[in-house]
A and B are shown apart, each in its own frame.
Chain A
Amino acid sequence: EAGVTQSPTHLIKTRGQQATLRCSPISGHTSVYWYQQALGLGLQFLLWYDEGEERNRGNFPPRFSGRQFPNYSSELNVNALELEDSALYLCASSWGGAFLFGPGTRLTVT
């Protein structure tokens, strides 16, 4: 069974641009969670999607947004990129309280 997949692996953008990151959960999982991990720091909760709806969001500005598609895959959009948005963005899906993470997308903003 395939795990959580994310694309692209790396993304380089300039300040002010928009970034789109993608995630596919484990087959059969309906929830997708997004986390931000700045270099050398812990994971900060960004967004939770379930059954196509945004269920909860962390303490991030509105320029962080996303959506979940009918096949439960998800997109994270970051508008008006700032230098401090440079981080590893991780996606997870959950089954029975066990959260399984993808390999992440490394976003670099220059």
Chain B
Amino acid sequence: GQQLNQSPQSMFIQEGEDVSMNCTSSSIFNTWLWYKQDPGEGPVLLIALYKAGELTSNGRLTAQFGITRKDSFLNISASIPSDVGIYFCAGHNYNTDKLIFGTGTRLQVFP
């Protein structure tokens, strides 16, 4: 199935460090979404982006919708142990109404 390119695949960082991950696509999207998933649970929506160039924050999280509409990034500042999990980007196309997911970034935070 179709998936977006997400990097890095995994990150091992120390508590307090900042984190950055990004997603790229060959197709343009109308909406970019960022999710966090804990093992065995459903993804939880972190940030939704609706306009090219949009920069949105949610607490320590900041995400941007790329100008080309083909990419997005997520930053986490001052990481804490509960940030551990898998982060997925997802792009939504209004025409097909499909939500296509990235390959995921596994984040480990060490105290």
Residues of A that sit less than 8 Å from B by CB: 4, 6, 31, 33, 35, 42-45, 48, 50, 55-56, 58-59, 88, 90, 92, 94, 97-104, 106
Contacts and interface: CB of A to CB of B under 8 A. Distances in A.
Contacts of B31: 97-98
A97 B48 CA distance: 8
Interface string B1-41: 11100000000000000000000000000110101000011
B73 interface: no
Contacts, number: 65
Contacts of B90: 43, 99
Interface string B79-111: 000000000101010101111111110000000
Interface of B: 1-3, 30-31, 33, 35, 40-45, 48, 50, 88, 90, 92, 94, 96-104
Contact of B1 (A56, A59, A90): A59
